[in-house]
Structure 1
Amino acid sequence: MKPTLLILAAGMASRYGSMKQVDGFGPNGETIIDYSIHDAIRAGFGKISFIIREEFLDSFKAIFEPKLAGKVETDYVFQNYDLEQFGIDYKVERAKPWGTAHAVLAARNQINEPFCVINADDYYGYDAFEKMAKFLTTEVADDKYSLIGYQIDRTLSEHGSVSRGVCKVNEEGNMVEINERTQVYFKGDGVVYEDGGVETELPTDTRVSMNFWGFTPAVFEQSLPMFQRFVEKNKDNPKAEFFIPLVADELIKSATATFKVIPTASKWFGVTYKEDKPIVQKSIADLVANGTYPANLWS
């Protein structure tokens, strides 16, 4: 059974000021999602599931169906505010949905095979998809999940500090914990994070999570009670978000599942701010120039 690629694309991209999931970066207006899908198909994924807001369905279909028809199966999952579907019998007023792990839960009735989750607006590199596809077809189990571990110095911006989920990895190569460091940046030839005005150096090969996770459908049942508890606890906190690392942390601490950290040497890049766009365009132009991708991705 071929694995599925689940793409988190329901965010409205408030910081970016437009729907960056469908913004063009390649030589023929290709989106970052296009490159992820191209790499996933090449690596052996059989289905692409987009998690979107229902009102974007026509836009997404118009953009992706013509180029993907006959190449891979597509599916659309809607992330919304309806809590009843998760067995929660009250309403909570919020400006946006409940975060990445809530988005994954929204797919529980549409995914029946091993799958991985990525962000729509991040470039991950073919090596990462190839390694994840291998894990999802040969190793994954209901108590054995994974994430791709990027080298921290291959994920930073030249334009200031970023937040990164720094992974603590044991001798078996499994994640022990993940710590969100909110101010990570280059300093000289090294990398540091700042916390309370104190700088701490991080080895340049430190592994970080860029939200590229591998699961079986068992994660839906495992995370549903966590979400129910999270909503109950945070029903008066409109900004609380149920993130995938929260689920991973609870699964690890309860010994329900391990998370193998799969190292990749791929360079990650993404678009957080408008100023990042020319850098991403140049990175993709370089990948086209060196033959990693054809100039016209889907022709």
Structure 2
Amino acid sequence: MKHFLGVDIGGTNVKFGVVDSDGNIIKKKKYPTKEVSEGGDFCGNFSKLLEKRLAKYPNIASVGIGIPGTISADGLSTLDLPNVPSLSRQPLVKILKNNFPSLPIAMDNDANAAALGELHFGLDAVPKTYIFITLGTGVGGGCVINGRVFKGGDGNGLEIGHILSSTGKTIEQNIGKAGIIEMATKYIDEGKLSTSLVKGEFDAKIVATAAHEGDEVALQVFHDMGKYVGELIVSCVRILDIKSILIGGGVSETFDYLKGNMYEVINNFLPEYYTKDLNIQLATLGNNAGILGAASIGIDQINLD
């Protein structure tokens, strides 16, 4: 059975995972991103860590790398990575290909990686064409069309978190973690709903926990969130004419609280042509989406080569 290496680069950690053809993660290893960035030489430090992984697993068939930002059109260099500034505008893949010339290596945005991961390793069968929305710290998106990731004109399409909503803010500003905190704080200040939340002493995860306990403010926040997710889906479906939607990220545990309002918006703004075949389901890879998605990028690179 072939093994692949998936690398999930994040603002906190850089995670390496050895993955087999069935989507089992054989071995995981993580390094603090700050440590990999030491000396201002992220690419050099990363290459050394990759060399160590390959020494332990010499039969790796390919390496896929997911990054939290934009990439060059040729896929060889990073552009802007706000959460990993030491890796911004660096020829990472070009350096790695020079260091490991016989190894297929590919890089893509982490949302694209997560989208592709569901196709290769998802626990539920998915069609060959779908939109992928990830709701977490921010809002990201990807799209798979006939089994291939849609990249847009220059490699960075589907930055759906930056779509404007009815509030005049971007979707990400509304329903990223900061947006959830802002909404909850607003309702606490209004004082019309009962809550156990204490202003200035909670984060998005605590709001989710409060919703499970029936907290009125928390439930109202996710009700509002449903409206914005619905607006996002309407925009994506109208532009791409794709009727299968996967939603991943931390929202999965609170999806029941927002889906009612989400569907209300969808049914108000999409005609039957779209809604009669619309299928919205939760992604299945959970916390392993980063590594498995990155591994999928490398698998696709083998197919391209």
Higher helix share: 2
Rg larger in structure? 2
TM-score by length of 2: 0.30
Task: Say which structure is richer in strand.
Answer: 1
TM-score, L = length of structure 1? 0.31
